[in-house]
Amino acid sequence: MNIPTKNFTIDHKSKLPLHVQVEELFRTLIKVEPYSKGALLPKEVDLANLWGVSRNTIRQATNKLEHEGLIVRKKGIGTRAAEKKSLVTGLDHWYSFTREMQEKGVEVINLLLKTESVSPNETICNFFDCSPAKKIFKLSKLKGENADEPIVYFESYFHPRIGLSTKDDFNIPLYTMLQDQYGVVVHQSRENISACQAGTVIGKKLKVPAGFPVLKRERFVYDINGKPVEYNIGYYRSDKFTYTIEIAKSSES
């Protein structure tokens, strides 16, 4: 078992649950050699003894990573880091695309960031309950791993009561900025997910043909008082992204 002791220990006095700590250790472990190169990860029993936790705790963490597509388990062979394929996102991470990608060990950057005032369409007018004559603040972002690898293009429209300005720093996490600078605490979102062709405009931004299939996601964001905050539409490259939905069985029979 080739695991460095530094940065790979469990803090049993921490308030952070053990399975969460173990999960984070695994996320770090699969990024370092030899495991990042495909070597089998240590056995559950060995890791349980090393970290002073139960095998169930180890399994709880690896179950989540397997569900996210970060590791692969084969009976009779063992567990290893999965080959890098498409990225995965889920409904429980609607608050920050960048933060979610960081949790998966993927660093994304803003390839495009543009702010402007625009006239709202019918969908936005209905959501914000505003007049089409009222100008709306719009934020556009193209994100990717590098200039040659765009992943997703976002367009966000904000309720005029917030008062966003082109002087605001949109390179920091959006909802953190809204809370710190405007006192707006986002609390809930409603999602519409569909598939469509990229089209000429979006295809050019994502560097795919106009007929290329993309995942289209509409997001309606509300604050803690149930007031509309943001209408966001995202276009994800289908060859680089998977959108997951995890559903728990109802307790009703």
The 10s digit of each residue's pLDDT in 92-142 is 455 566 666 665 566 778 899 999 999 999 999 999 998 999 999 999 999
* Residues 189-231 pLDDT 10s: 888 888 999 999 999 999 999 999 999 989 899 988 889 999 9
Q: Does position 250 have pLDDT exceeding 80, yes or no?
A: no
pLDDT (average), residues 137-150: 89
CA distances to 1, 2, 103, 160 from 5, in Å:
11, 9, 22, 52
Rounded mean pLDDT of 229-247?
A: 81
What is the pLDDT at residue 156? 95
Compare 246 and 117 and report the one with higher pLDDT: 117
pLDDT of residue 91: 46
- Give the range with max mean pLDDT: 56-65, 78-87, 122-131: 122-131
Q: What pLDDT shows up at residue 110?
A: 87
Between CA 2 and CA 41 the distance in angstroms is: 9
Task: Give the pLDDT score at 120.
Answer: 94
CATH 3.40.1410.10 fits 87-244, yes or no: yes
For range 157-179, the mean pLDDT? 89
Question: What is the 3-class SS of the chain, one letter each residue?
Answer: CCCCCCCCCCCCCCCCCHHHHHHHHHHHHCCCCCHHHCCCCCCHHHHHHHHCCCHHHHHHHHHHHHHCCCEEEECCCEEEECCCCCEEEEHHHCCCHHHHHHHCCCCCEEEEEEEEEECCCHHHHHHHCCCCCCCEEEEEEEEECCCCCEEEEEEEEECCCCCCCCCCCCCCCHHHHHHHHHCCCEEEEEEEEEEEECHHHHHHHHCCCCCCEEEEEEEEEEECCCCEEEEEEEEEECCCEEEECCCCCCCCC
What is the C-alpha separation between 240 and 248, in angstroms, rounded? Answer: 26
Q: Which residue type does 93 have?
A: H
Asked if the model's pLDDT at residue 158 lies above 90, the reply is yes
Instruction: Report pLDDT for 101.
Output: 63
Q: Which of 44-58, 61-75, 169-183, 226-240 has the lowest mean pLDDT?
A: 61-75
The lowest-confidence range among 11-25, 72-86, 106-120 is: 72-86
Unique residue bearing structure tokens 């307790």: 251
The dihedral of CA 210, 109, 216, 132: what is its sign?
Answer: negative
User: What's the confidence (pLDDT) of residue 86?
Assistant: 47
Domain boundaries, the chain: 18-81, 87-244
What pLDDT is stored for residue 175 in this prediction?
85
Question: How many whole angstroms separate alpha carbon 216 and alpha carbon 198?
Answer: 9
Residue 186's identity, in one-letter code, is: V
Binning pLDDT at 50, 70 and 90, where does residue 88 land? Answer: very low
Q: How confident is the prediction for the chain on average, in pLDDT?
A: 83
**pLDDT, position 93:** 52
- Fold exhibited by the domain 18-81: Arc Repressor Mutant, subunit A (1.10.10)
Integer Cα distance of 231 and 158 in angstroms: 7
| Count of other CB atoms within 10 angstroms of residue 184 | 24
Q: Assess whether pLDDT exceeds 70 at residue 248.
A: no
